[in-house]
Chains A and B, each alone.
Chain A
């Protein structure tokens, strides 16, 4: 079936502009994660949803970052008043079921959105 999809694939923004990044998880996947990957670094956790509930947003770097998943499916990561340090690849991942068990389900990653802030 279809994997995780993200749009847009590339986004160029002027400093101060607001951007919205979309993630379509695999159908039926309960858990959804956002990661930020700066150049030359590994992905870093931003936030986690279980269905529509945002259970962990400890990785969001500032209050300019906001994520939502209102119907428990598609998620949007919004960055307000973008800064140059926000330039990165933003990855979305989803996994099959609630992470309340003993071992986590495999996370499946989307292709990422490459954001460049000028």
Chain B
């Protein structure tokens, strides 16, 4: 069975401080990992996916298969980063099956001015 664990329910940092949102996963095969974000009163939206190796809004995430982690990082937090962040995984290939996302419980990031 696949599982995503986000150990922090709430993370508060000061503006300009570094941010790291932790995500660990368990999956027997080769997963694809995502970070989704939900800003206040907005819908869930994709922030980044490990396969793209992009930096979005200053955020990066590196897949560490040895530690089964996909932590989200940003060197300098901004007030507009305050939101709910969800780590999620899906199988890289599931044949005829669905690519359903398995989500963690989420971490609420609060950036203090």
Contact = CB atoms under 8 A, between A and B. Distances in A.
Contacts of A33: 98, 100-101
A41 interface: yes
Nearest to A91: B44
Interface stretch (B14-22, B59-67, B71-79, B102-110): B102-110
Contact of A56 (B90, B100, B101, B105): B100
B32 A112 contact: no
A99 B92 contact: no
Contacts, number: 67
Contact of A103 (B44, B88, B92, B104): B92
Interface residues of B, number: 26
Q: Which of B43, B93, B95, B100 has the most chain A CB atoms inside 10 A of its CB?
A: B100
Interface of A: 3-4, 31, 33, 35, 40-45, 48, 50, 55-56, 59, 91, 93, 95, 99-100, 102-104, 106-112
Interface of B: 4, 32, 43-46, 49, 51, 86, 88, 90, 92-106
